[in-house]
């Protein structure tokens, strides 16, 4: 037979387990919301940029280019470091970009 003390202890453990489950479900929703926002932001960056204030644009530039943008001597721009997001978006097999297309498949055009 279960005593009142044992029953109370079990009810307390059940309540704590339910609270932990609720917290985990809230965290899951937050992760989904963050991922959805990030996807929307990355896919619509140009439009969102136009809607940003000057301060927001400057903060966003610091995120994308943490060490700033340098003007190259011959013209053009370069960055010393880029936001880690772009590294994460690269395919895991970088060899795809290192390979050249075999010759003979493209049409020969006059110079």
Instruction: Look at residue 83 in the predicted model and tell me its pLDDT.
Output: 74
Q: Is the dihedral of CA 52, 53, 54, 55 positive or negative?
A: negative
Q: Is 60 exposed, middle or buried (0-12, 13-18, 19+ CB in 10 A)?
A: middle
pTM of the model: 0.45
Q: What is the chain's pLDDT, residue by residue, as a tens digit (111 residues)?
A: 788 888 889 999 999 999 998 888 877 777 888 888 888 888 888 899 999 999 999 998 888 888 888 888 888 888 777 777 777 766 666 555 555 555 555 665 665
Task: Establish how many alpha carbons lie within 13 A of residue 105's alpha carbon, considering only the half-sphere containing its beta carbon.
Answer: 4
Instruction: Look at residue 19 in the predicted model and tell me its pLDDT.
Output: 92
């Amino acid at each position: 037979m279960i005593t009142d003390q044992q029953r109370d202890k079990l009810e307390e453990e059940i309540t704590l387990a339910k609270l932990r489950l609720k917290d985990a479900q809230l965290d899951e929703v937050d992760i989904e919301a963050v991922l959805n926002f990030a996807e929307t932001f990355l896919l619509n960056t140009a439009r969102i940029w136009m809607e940003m204030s000057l301060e927001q644009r400057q903060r966003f530039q610091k995120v994308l280019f943490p060490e700033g943008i340098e003007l190259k001597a011959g013209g053009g721009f370069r960055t010393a470091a880029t936001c880690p997001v772009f590294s994460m978006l690269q395919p895991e097999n970088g060899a795809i970009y290192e390979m050249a297309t075999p010759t003979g498949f493209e049409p020969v055009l006059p110079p």
